[in-house]
A and B are shown apart, each in its own frame.
Chain A
């Protein structure tokens, strides 16, 4: 024990002795014990057990510390996390109100081109785009007769009120009235009959026109077909000095073709052939032009090295302006435009509404999985830690689940059950909860026998309250982190399952289905928007959840509340 040289002893001995002496002297005069009457006279409160009282229990700490207030204060100090939280909330809210907005397509609705009308968009330099996608609001402006097609035309403001001309193939052009659509003031319309299907548009003064007396030849990569149209596709002025008896023809071929070689031949087989001289158009990269003799309009196009070859049975009847016929089929693979904001897929479904519908599905899966993991994980973890008899069983389950890669369990579970939202949720929940339960169990065992819990137990605090007030706050940070990470994890798993063919059926849009469908099209650069848009939105969502979850778990850790 203490040595007699210790400074402590030397100094305090005298003090202690005097106090002891004092007490002894006092005790001599005090009575040794109380008799029965004296005890009865005392206040009965002194002999009661300490009772547990909820309001008194709250009064133990006299600081104004509040766990949740500190957590939020810490969280809002992190500017990055707040920004991410804002993005996340905006996305979440928007995802769920999107179907309620006006002018939204149904996610699974297949859109067809309009059967009786076309919409023609004319630009400043007379380039016209014909589309079967309905750009006007409301019903048709006129009743159509049998065989008629309604042509809506939008011209630049500088053109004034446009003039419409129609003609039969090779015939005389006749001016028809351009009516303004009252419901859509920027659109003019006319009904085009079957007999005179060719039409062109000029400005009010007749200077600008969509009829250029030239042909634009393009190559459609997915189908391998050659298209020739008299609708202007290059920008700027077209070549003016066309030799007599020749047609100005523009060519646009994929980059891999190099500079193409074009041989023109007559319509009859075995007729004379002529190699065309191609000139690169300085104003339009990738475009070449040549003069095709009127008698030799059948073209054979070969690539620079001769490895690729395509042909065309006669370029468009160049004497005629554009032909007004309704487009047939799905509104397929439209690039993003003002009607289909994210474009359409190969069967004409609106990708904008599919995107948000898919986000809803994926978020639903993610949130349900996270909730189930949290609830089951916490309950199982508390049982595991508190009930010693269950320890063996839980440890064995843990050993099994933890030993097998979760991807394998996921694949196996989905393989055995039929793919559906419920299946995916169940499969993802099988593996997730055990990690959280294990963590909770370890924390319970560490904290359960700490002094403050012993004190609570001595004061008669119910177990329920010990768990809620003494144990769980230590775990909130990890539980929140796990939940926040479970959501992007579940979304990622869904994408993976869609890839390996065990995802949701195609009529349930999900981010996985959309990315997977886009991936199949990634070889065609013009269709790449179908991959990039869902991929970007998916990444934004997962990064937001990840960062917000990390920031919140840091903020929720009581150790950081200083």
Chain B
């Protein structure tokens, strides 16, 4: 287990380094104006000098090496356009809390609801609840969330009489963003739990338990539900960590001062250094989330072993 964890950790670091290298290589092709606040007013010589001072004319490996070295010390560089010469780590620090709170609230809402819906759908397969739930899942999965988020914002605010945009300290303005974030999560939790539970009910040991005369409730709660929840555990750390990156779309729509909205902002202002820093940060979150998910699953389910089997490829 320890060996596996270490190996995965090392691989994750490698992935991150490769990603940073790729981004730096690609940034060479970017227009230079993404590094300056007042690009139009500068002469060619000024631009070249400034680029050299920033170290952007150095060979690729030196740039990457410098970035990683700074990253290890918690320094993500400075912003060039969004807030001139302001450390990015400071900007990010002030935003993480907002995103995280929003994400955790929406997860606290969606996880129980999604689980209940999934269990209900699996329990009464092909019943009314199953059909309605499926229609809901199909709708959420098929329609781009860019579309129904707008309608939630539009009609939700007039229906509930709440403010359309987020305001610090007014909890009612959180209702709509949380709903927007929770709807797709509920559908995906419900979909997976239903699928795992239906698969589980078709297994032989459940048939045996039925034949032995184990009560139905016991079968559902002690066997089917418990075994189906295990694969769901895999998703949870990822979701928690990804709340930090926030939902890019939701935050920007409700102008919530979080990380997701920040990414959209800096893209619109073409701040190269901030885009780079945020992308690396988000990628790191996601990698860590997947890693934790796998490890957690190994802890929860003793049947899973990460050691290589004899004779397998």
A: residues with CB less than 8 A from B are: 399-400, 403-405, 407-408, 411-412, 415-416, 445, 488, 491-493, 495-496, 499-502, 512, 515, 519, 522, 528, 531, 535, 538-539, 542-543, 545-547
Q: Please, how many angstroms separate the alpha-carbon atoms of A467 and B313 in the complex?
A: 21
Contacts A403-B286, A404-B287, A405-B286 given; indicate if A412 touches B248 (C-beta within 8 A).
no
Inter-subunit contact B264/A500 (CB<8 Å):
yes
Asked if B222 CB lies within 8 Å of chain A CBs, one says no
B11 touching A542, Cβ below 8 Å: no
Residues of B within 8 A of A522 (CB): 150, 154
- Is B30 part of the binding interface, using a Cβ–Cβ cutoff of 8 Å? yes
B residues 1-26 near A (Cβ < 8 Å) are 11-12, 15, 18-19, 23, 26
- Cα separation A97 to B245 with both chains bound (whole Å): 44
| Docked complex Cα distance between A408 and B286 (Å) | 10
Question: Shortest distance in angstroms between A449's beta carbon and chain B's nearest beta carbon?
Answer: 11
Q: Report the minimal beta-carbon distance from A393 to chain B, rounded to whole angstroms.
A: 13
A488 to B249, CA, bound (A): 18
Flag the segment in B56-64, B136-144, B299-307 that touches A: B136-144
The chain A residue with its CB closest to the CB of B283 is A404
CA of A265 to CA of B290, assembled, Å? 73
Residues of B within 8 A of A399 (CB): 11, 15
Chain A residue numbers with a CB within 8 Å of B287 are 403-404
Q: A405-B283, A412-B23, A543-B139 are in contact. Are A538 and B15 (CB under 8 A)?
A: no
**Does B268 sit within 8 A of A, measured CB to CB?**
yes
Interchain CA distance A412-B263 in the complex, whole Å: 11
Main secondary structure of the interface of B (DSSP, over half): helix
Whether A501 contacts B267 in the complex (CB less than 8 A), given A412-B23, A522-B154, comes out as: yes
Can you name 9 extra interface pairs (CB under 8 A) apart from A405-B242, A535-B147, A538-B143? A400-B18, A404-B283, A404-B287, A411-B279, A412-B26, A495-B147, A539-B142, A539-B143, A546-B138
Cβ-neighbour of A543 out of B15, B142, B267 (below 8 A): B142
B142, A496: Cβ atoms closer than 8 Å:
no
Whole-angstrom CA separation of A411 from B26 in the bound complex: 13
**Interchain CA distance A543-B279 in the complex, whole Å:** 31
Are A546 and B141 closer than 8 Å at their CB atoms? yes
Tell me if A408 and B144 are in contact (CB < 8 A): no
Given contacts A405-B286, A543-B143, contact A416 B263 (CB under 8 A): no
**A408-B283, A416-B27 known; A499+B12 contact, CB < 8 A:** no
Candidates B138, B242, B267; contact of A411 at CB < 8 Å: B267
Across-interface contacts of B248 in A (CB, < 8 A): 407, 500
Using A411-B267, A546-B141 as known contacts, say yes or no to A500 and B252 having CB atoms under 8 A apart: yes
Q: Which of A445, A488, A500 contacts B144, CB < 8 Å?
A: A488
Main secondary structure of the interface of A (DSSP, over half): helix
Q: Which listed residue, B12, B151, B268, B286, touches A500 by the CB 8 Å rule?
A: B268
Structural contact, B146 and A515, CB atoms closer than 8 A: yes
Residue of A nearest to B145 (CB): A492
5 smallest beta-carbon distances between A and B, as pairs: A492-B144, A546-B142, A495-B146, A543-B142, A404-B283
Tell whether B67 is near chain A: CB-to-CB under 8 Å: no
Q: Is B220 an interface residue (CB 8 A)?
A: no
At the interface, yes or no: B275 with Cβ under 8 Å from chain A?
yes
Q: Return the chain B residue nearest A543 by Cβ.
A: B142
A-contact bits for B260-277, CB 8 A (1 contact / 0 none): 000110011000000100
Question: In the complex, what residues of B have CB within 8 A of residue A538's CB?
Answer: 143-144, 147
> Could you say which residues of chain A place their CB within 8 Å of the CB of B30?
416
Q: Which residue of B lies closest to A498 (CB)?
A: B146
Question: Known interface pairs A416-B26, A416-B27, A488-B142. Does A445 touch B147 (Cβ–Cβ under 8 Å)?
Answer: no
How far is it, in angstroms, between the C-alpha of A64 and the C-alpha of B296 when the chains are bound? Answer: 51
Shortest distance in angstroms between B303's beta carbon and chain A's nearest beta carbon?
Answer: 20
Kindly state the separation between the CA atoms of A522 and B19 in the bound complex, as whole angstroms. Answer: 39
Q: Which chain A residues border B171 with CB–CB below 8 Å?
A: none
Q: Which of B246-264 contact A (CB under 8 A)?
A: 248-249, 252, 263-264
Check B279 against A515 for contact (C-beta < 8 Å): no
Chain B, Cβ-Cβ closest to A501 = B268
Give B146's nearest chain A residue, CB to CB. A495
B282 interfacial contact with A, CB 8 Å = yes
The distance from the CB of B202 to the nearest CB of chain A, in whole angstroms, is 14
Nearest chain B residue, comparing its CB with the CB of A405 = B286
Pairs A–B under 8 Å by Cβ, sample size 8: A400-B18, A404-B287, A416-B27, A495-B144, A496-B146, A499-B146, A539-B147, A545-B142
Using CB atoms, name the residue of chain B closest to A412. Answer: B279
If the complex has contacts A403-B287, A404-B286, A415-B275, are A531 and B142 also in contact, measured as CB distance less than 8 A? Answer: no
Alpha-carbon gap, A434 to B268, bound state (A) = 29
Please, which residues of chain B bring their CB within 8 A of the CB of A501?
A: 264, 267-268
Cα(A515)–Cα(B145), bound, Å:
12
- Return chain B residues, CB-CB under 8 Å to A528: 154
Contact call A415/B267, Cβ cutoff below 8 A: yes
Residues of chain B with a CB closer than 8 A to A445's CB: 313
Chain B, residues 119-147, CB within 8 Å of chain A (1/0): the string is 00000000000000000001101111111
Chain B residue numbers with a CB within 8 Å of A519 are: 150
Question: What is the minimal beta-carbon distance from B296 to any residue of chain A, in angstroms?
Answer: 17
Q: How far is the CB of B304 from chain A (nearest CB, A)?
A: 18
A500–B149 Cα distance when bound, in Å, is: 14
- Whole-angstrom distance between the Cβ of B19 and the nearest chain A Cβ: 7
Are A404 and B146 in contact, with the CB atoms below 8 A? no
Which residues on the A side are within 8 Å of B249 (C-beta)? 496, 499-500
Q: Complex Cα distance A400/B99, Å? A: 26
Q: How far is the CA of A187 from the CA of B287 in the complex (A)?
A: 69
A515 contacts which chain B residues (CB < 8 A)? 146-147, 150
Roughly how many angstroms separate A545 CA and B12 CA in the complex, as a whole number? 36
Does B252 lie within 8 Å of A499, measured CB to CB? yes
Instruction: Determine how close the nearest CB of chain A comes to the CB of B229; give it in whole angstroms.
Output: 24
Contacts of B242 in A (CB 8 A): 405
Contacts of A535 in B (CB 8 A): 147, 150-151
B267 with A400: CB separation less than 8 A: no
Q: Which chain A residues border B29 with CB–CB below 8 Å? A: 416
Q: Tell me if B138 and A543 are in contact (CB < 8 A).
A: yes
Residues of A within 8 A of B145 (CB): 492
Q: Considering only CB atoms, which chain B residue lies closest to A499 in the complex?
A: B146
Residues of A within 8 A of B275 (CB): 412, 415
B245: which A residues are within 8 A, CB to CB?
A: 405
CB-based contact A400/B268 at 8 Å = no
In chain B, what residue has the closest Cβ to A492?
B144
Complex Cα–Cα for A253 and B142 (A)? 40
In the bound complex, residues from chain B placing their C-beta under 8 Å from that of A415 are 267, 275
Kindly state the separation between the CA atoms of A408 and B19 in the bound complex, as whole angstroms: 12
Q: How far is the CA of A512 from the CA of B12 in the complex (A)?
A: 35
From known contacts A492-B145, A535-B150, infer whether A408 and B282 are also in contact, taking CB-CB under 8 Å. Answer: yes
Are A411 and B143 in contact, CB atoms less than 8 angstroms apart?
no
**By the criterion CB–CB under 8 Å, are A403 and B267 in contact?**
no
Asked, given contacts A488-B142, A495-B147, A515-B146, whether A400 binds B15 with beta carbons under 8 Å apart, the answer is yes
Q: Which residues of B contact A499 (CB under 8 A)?
A: 146, 249, 252
Closest to A534 in B: B147
- Expressed in whole angstroms, the Cα–Cα distance for A493 and B145 within the complex equals 10
**Which A residues are in CB contact (< 8 Å) with B141?**
546
Chain A residue contacts of B19, Cβ below 8 A: 400, 404
The CA of A264 and the CA of B46, in the complex, are separated in Å by 63
Q: Could you tell me the distance in whole angstroms from the C-beta of B101 to the nearest C-beta in chain A?
A: 21
Q: Which of B27, B263, B290 contacts A403 (CB 8 A)?
A: B290
In the assembled complex, the Cα of A493 lies from the Cα of B248 at a distance in Å of 13
Question: Please, which residues of chain B bring their CB within 8 A of the CB of A488?
Answer: 142, 144
- Quick one: which of B15, B27, B138 contacts A547, CB cutoff 8 A? B138
With contacts A399-B11, A408-B282, A415-B267 taken as known, whether A542 is within 8 angstroms of B26 at the C-beta atoms is no
Measured in the bound complex, the distance between the Cα atoms of B143 and A407 in whole Å is 17
- What's the nearest-Cβ distance from chain A to residue B92, in Å? 15
Q: How far is the CB of B37 from chain A (nearest CB, A)?
A: 19
Which chain B residues lie closer than 8 Å to A543 at the CB level?
Answer: 138-139, 142-143
